[in-house]
Amino acid sequence: MKVAFFSTKKYDQDFFEKINSDNKHQLTFFETALNVHTASLAQDFEAVCVFVNDDLNKKNLEKLADCGIKLIALRCAGFNNVDLAAAAENNITIVRVPAYSPQAVAEHAVALMLTLNRKTHKAYNRVRENNFSLEKLTGFNIYGKTVGVIGTGIIGICFAKIMLGFGCKVLAYDIKPADELKDLSVNYVAIDELLQESDIISLHCPLNEQTHHLMNTDAFNKMKKGAMLINTGRGALIDTASVVEALKQEKLGYLGIDVYEQESGLFFNDLSETVNKDDDFLRLMSFPNVLITGHQGFFTKEALDQIAQVTLKNLTEFESGNELENEVKA
């Protein structure tokens, strides 16, 4: 198939070309994101491959259909950026990569948690300046703490298991509890109880109408004072204005995020020589108890290899007319 890749970096091209070494598919890589201004680049292609911040709204899907696109391959698990109903109306099939090294994201959530707690990022900078003071680097034992996991899909299960290994009491909330975690003595509770009892909360649920701004003013008011919140899921799970207020009022003790609800146009780009005009993001960065990484939770060799393999497999299945294992429908 002739496939146009959007929002690509060098590492995307390297991994996809390695897996596609037999040149079964013709791959063309565009660094630009897919949006209303760039959709026309898909002209003369059969499929497009997109990432988390590409915009697949109704208008763009209609443009892609006019270009002759029959397949959109998401090289990610989430599909909240796709208007699935509009895709169906335009006879465009959607496929995704439902799981790629879930351990990578779970481990990154743990990295955020440990860094925030033990302040290793601050200690690193101090030592580089020959400052070996321990003042204001006090952390707390993870062992024995209550950890709440919201969303126990594959990644949530991985994270919960790691926390059990730390000797934590793990509470979980999901509309479909995982028997695997129940067998490990993870206690599924109502979300209000999880918010009230947890010292650390980690978000691993998908973004949809029910979970949009799940963490809002009401949720922060129910949490323990000084609790830690980690988000490696989707940015809009957290209401940015509400979390800023919770940090200002010192209700929330720590915030670690790898995703941000207005990350499109920010993350995955080198903006070091530009002025950041996102006031909410700048406000978050001003807090000493906030740690932000640029959507790198998935970014391991194993995950990139799996993403390339499954995406190309999805393309081959579609081209061959076989059943699509990873199709997403409205």
The catalytically annotated residue of 25, 108, 213, 234 is: 234
Buried b or exposed e, range 108-119, using 16+ CB within 10 angstroms: bbbbbbebbbeb
* Residue 81 CB partners (closer than 8 Å, separation 6+): 50, 52, 53, 54, 55, 56
Residue among 253, 247, 252 nearest 280 (CA)? 247
d(CA 39, CA 6): 10
Of the candidates 25, 96, 204, 295, the residue annotated as catalytic is 295
Question: Residue 10 and residue 294: Cα distance in Å, rounded?
Answer: 17
Instruction: Tell me which H or E stretch contains 217.
Output: helix 217-222
Q: How far apart are CA 138 and CA 288, in angstroms?
A: 13
**β partners of residue 228:** 200, 254
Question: Which residues sit opposite 162 in a β-bridge?
Answer: none
118 is catalytic: no
Token readout for 313 is: 């497999």
- Is residue 295 part of the annotated active site? The answer reads yes
Integer Cα distance of 264 and 279 in angstroms: 15
Please identify which of the residues 37, 263, 319, 327 carries the catalytic annotation. 263
- What would the two tokens of residue 111 be? 């990295």
Catalytic residue check, 128: no
Active site residues: 234, 263, 295
